[in-house]
Every structure is written in C-alpha cells, then in structure tokens.
C-alpha cells in the first residue's frame, strides 16, 4: 500500500497527473513540486542548522548592525521614520516585544562614535559586516555557490547594503508618511466609500515592504547571478509565509498560559529565540524557492553531492583549463564556472571542487570580476601536472603512506609511467596550438 501511494504521489507531482489539466494543473504541479522540494530540504537539517547559526549571530550583532545603519539615517534625518517600523518586527511577541525593542533602541541611541573612538567604531562596523557575511554564506549554500566574494568586494557591497540601502528605505518610508498627509489622501480617509480601501492598503503595506526587502536580498546577496523574476517569486513566497507565521505565532504567544507556567521568566527569551529562528528559516526557505524557480532541474534531485569517476574528473579538469586558456588568448566576455557549466552542460556544484583544486595548485586564478584566468604562463602548465592534481586532490585520512603489496606498487608505478610517457612534456599552450593554431 505504501508503495502504491508513493507511486500515485510521484505520478501527480512529477508526472503528468496534474499538468495535463491545463494551466491550473501546471500551476498546481509547480506548487506541489516546490513544496515537496522545500520540505525535503528542511527535513535534511541543513537549513535548520544555518537558521540557528544566524540566530546566534543576530544576538551578537543586532546592536552594531542597527547602530551603523542609524548613523547614516541620522545624517539624512530619516531615522525617526524607520524606528517605528522596527517595532513591528517583534510585534508577534506582544507587549514584551515592544519592551525589548525599546531596550535595543536605547542601546543603539547610546552608541556615541566619539566615546567609542576609532578602534571601537571599526569594531562595530566589523561585527555588522560579519553578520551580513553570514547571511551571504547561507544564501551561497542555498544557491550551490562554493566561493564567496573577495574581501574588497565584500567591504564595498556590504557597506552599500548597510548604509545606502538603509538610507533608501528611510527615504522611501518618509515619502510614504508625507504622502499620507496630503489633502487628497486625507479626504479619501474621511470618505465612507473609499476609507475601507485605504485601510486595506495600509494593512498590506508592511507585507509589500517585506516582499521588496526579501526580493532585494535574494537578488543581490548570493555570489551568483539571480534573475529578478526568480528573486521576486522567492520574495513573494517568503513574504507571504512570514506574514502568515507572524499571525500564527502572535496568536500562540497570546494564548500560551502554560508556557509561562513552565518557563516562568525565561518564557519571553525562549519566545524571542524561536521567533528569530522562524524569521531566518523563512528567509532561507524563500531563497530556496527562488533557486528552484531559476533552476527547476534541481527540484527532484535536490542537494546531492556529485559522484564522479576518475575519467570524468580528468576530462572536466582538461576542459576547464582549455576553455580558460582559449578565453585568455581571445578575450570576449570572460569565463567563469557558470559559463563553463553551461558550455559543458554540467552543474556548477560538480565543477567547483575540481576548479578549486586547480586553483590551489596554482593553475587557475581569478580577477576582480571573478573571471577565471590561467594561474601562470600556459607554456609552463604541463598536462601531466593537471592529471596529477585530479588524481591526488581530495584525499582524506592519515598522512602516512600506505604499505602497498609489491605487485600493486609495481602496477601503480607502471600506470604513472604510462601517463607521463603519453603526455610527455605537452603543455596547455601546446593543446591550444594543436586545436586552435595562432596566426
């Protein structure tokens, strides 16, 4: 019976059990596939672990993060418009959430750059940037990105997010507040016919802002190219889930007298930790939805570590070096793992470990745009050395050499000698010249 049920489920989710019923069937199948994939990823535990890690990071860096952003907001005089919005974040905790937000804001307002001094302010900025880095690492995991941004890129982009992004949000909120004071808006509010419509708009505005913030994070935080449409789909999913969870959690907190009896004074702290965890988990779930929307091929297989034969690894390594060398000789748009993956029709997650091994051994490097380049003169990159990297990279266990039997040791030596003899002293430059002669 269980097997029959799983077969039916597989037929309706992954087969044509729903898609044959037109647009409604295709939409239903798409929703079920994404729901199945996200639940599978949550059950694997990695999203939960990263969400809990971000809770810990938040507790350490929430004051520096808000302080750095508010220092820029104060310069433009829009900080008083953002502060009321922060109270909505802990609103599901009830009156205690307001009290906690008051304490956080008191700490933020008490941060004085003149008292902290240069070293103290740099430390504050470092903690704030570290939190953004943790968020990027979590998004990179979701998007199968193995290499983070460079330090210089992080410094510039994170500072932009913390300062310029905060200022943009502050100005936008100020504009909305000022707009609500216009005579036309006031007259609509006083109208019996149009007032309910405006009231609904006011209630939906926080959710719209949440969706926009989520979309921005999904679009720019992962160290990969995320299409706006994919980020928007993830933002809508994450925003809707966040709004629904906030209502459910607020109801739970308001009606959980037994929780107070069991945990006493710790109940509020536990509720706050749970709420932070749910917020980060929802943010990662929305990012996962955005990833699957952009990469539907991963919906069914999920996060499976690539298992490659030695032959496949060798061919991938040669292809990476060949494509990088060809682009270096005749530059067009630049080459990176994503473009190589599209050319070879191989997922980036499969290419990344091999490319990393080549980079660690000096055969590859990257420029400021994260484009791949030869790590040294291509006439000095021997093909047998590329094979050696693939054959030896990724070993684990003891550093002591095993004691092979004489017969196997002799056979291994013959194989090594055969590879060295076949490739000889041929280099990457020779391979390029043989297939694309220079004029």
Q: 22 and 84: one domain?
A: no
Q: 33 and 166: one domain?
A: no
- pLDDT, tens digit, 9 for 90 and up, residues 60-88: 776 666 666 666 566 555 556 556 666 56
Specify the pLDDT at position 436.
73
Specify the pLDDT at position 202.
61
For the whole model, what pTM was predicted?
0.66
Q: Where are the alpha helices (DSSP H) in 14-112?
A: 22-44, 46-76, 79-87, 95-109
Q: 126 and 249: one domain?
A: yes
Residue 382 in 3-state DSSP? Answer: strand
DSSP lists the bridge partners of residue 364 as: 374
Number of independent structural domains in the chain: 3
Q: 260 and 132: one domain?
A: yes
Q: Residue 330 sits in a domain of what CATH number?
A: 1.10.10.10
Q: 52 and 186: one domain?
A: yes
Specify the pLDDT at position 395.
62
Specify the pLDDT at position 320.
93
Specify the pLDDT at position 224.
82
Which helix (H) or strand (E) covers residue 365, if one does? strand 364-366
Q: 217 and 329: one domain?
A: no
Q: 7 and 64: one domain?
A: no
- pLDDT, tens digit, 9 for 90 and up, residues 101-147: 666 666 556 555 555 445 555 666 677 677 778 888 888 888 887 77
Query: What crossing angle do the helices spanning 310-329 and 428-435 adopt, rounded to 10°?
Result: 70
For 132, residues 6+ apart whose C-beta sits below 8 A from its C-beta are 158, 161, 162
Q: 296 and 317: one domain?
A: no
Specify the pLDDT at position 287.
92
Phi, psi of 404 (to 5 degrees): -80, 155
Instruction: Provide the domain limits for residue 329.
Output: 310-395+402-435
Phi, psi of 425 (to 5 degrees): -105, 20
Which residue is it, tokens 């998007």?
143
Which helix (H) or strand (E) covers residue 374, if one does? strand 372-374
Specify the pLDDT at position 198.
54
Q: 315 and 352: one domain?
A: yes
Which residue is it, tokens 């200022």?
167
For 78, residues 6+ apart whose C-beta sits below 8 A from its C-beta are 167, 170, 171, 173, 174
Which residues of the chain fall short of a pLDDT of 50? 116-117, 439
Which own/partner pairs from 46-49 qualify as long-range (CB within 8 Å, at least 24 positions apart)? 46/141, 46/303, 47/142, 47/281, 47/284, 47/285, 47/288, 48/281
Q: 136 and 242: one domain?
A: yes
Residue 234 tokens read as 């993830």
Write down which residue in 275, 301, 327 finishes a domain: 301
Cα 428 from chain centroid (whole Å): 35
Q: 121 and 186: one domain?
A: yes
Nearest C-alpha neighbor of 277 from the set 42, 49, 37: 49
Q: 331 and 226: one domain?
A: no
């Amino acid at each position: 019976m269980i097997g029959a049920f799983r077969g039916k489920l597989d037929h309706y989710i992954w087969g044509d059990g729903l898609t044959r019923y037109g647009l409604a069937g295709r939409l239903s199948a798409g929703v079920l596939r994404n729901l199945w994939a996200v639940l599978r990823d949550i059950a694997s535990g990695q999203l939960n672990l990263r969400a809990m890690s971000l809770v810990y990071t938040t507790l350490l860096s929430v004051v520096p993060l808000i302080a750095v952003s508010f220092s820029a907001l104060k310069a433009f005089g829009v900080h008083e418009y953002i502060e009321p919005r922060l109270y909505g974040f802990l609103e599901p905790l009830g009156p205690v959430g307001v009290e906690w937000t008051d304490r956080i804001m008191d700490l933020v307002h008490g941060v004085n750059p003149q008292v902290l001094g240069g070293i103290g302010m740099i430390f504050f900025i470092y903690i704030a940037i570290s939190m953004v880095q943790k968020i990027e690492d979590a998004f990179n995991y979701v998007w199968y990105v193995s290499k983070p941004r460079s330090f210089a890129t992080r410094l510039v982009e994170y500072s932009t997010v913390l300062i310029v992004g905060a200022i943009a949000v502050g100005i936008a909120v100020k504009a909305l507040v000022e707009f609500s004071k216009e005579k036309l808006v006031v007259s609509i509010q006083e109208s019996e016919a149009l007032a309910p419509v405006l009231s609904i708009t006011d209630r939906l505005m926080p959710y719209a802002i949440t969706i926009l913030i989520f979309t921005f994070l999904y679009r720019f935080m992962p160290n990969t190219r995320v299409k706006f449409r994919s980020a928007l789909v993830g933002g809508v999913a994450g925003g809707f889930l966040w709004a629904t969870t906030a209502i459910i959690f607020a109801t739970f907190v308001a009606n959980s007298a037994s929780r107070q009896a069991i945990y006493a004074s710790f109940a509020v702290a536990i509720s706050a930790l749970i709420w932070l965890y749910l917020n980060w988990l929802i943010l990662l779930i929305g990012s996962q939805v955005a990833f699957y929307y952009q990469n539907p091929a991963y919906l069914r297989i999920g996060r499976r570590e690539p298992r490659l034969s030695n032959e496949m690894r060798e061919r991938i390594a040669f292809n990476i070096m060949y494509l990088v060398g060809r682009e270096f000789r005749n530059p067009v748009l630049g080459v990176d793992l994503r473009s190589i993956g599209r050319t070879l029709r191989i997922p980036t997650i499969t290419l990344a470990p091999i490319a990393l091994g080549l980079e660690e051994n000096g055969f590859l490097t990257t420029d400021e745009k994260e484009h791949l380049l030869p790590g040294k003169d291509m006439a000095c990159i021997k093909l047998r050395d590329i094979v050696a990297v693939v054959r030896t990279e990724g070993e684990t266990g003891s550093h002591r050499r095993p004691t092979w039997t004489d017969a196997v040791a002799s056979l291994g030596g013959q194989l090594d000698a055969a590879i060295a003899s076949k490739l000889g002293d041929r280099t990457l430059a020779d391979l390029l010249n043989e297939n694309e002669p220079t004029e």
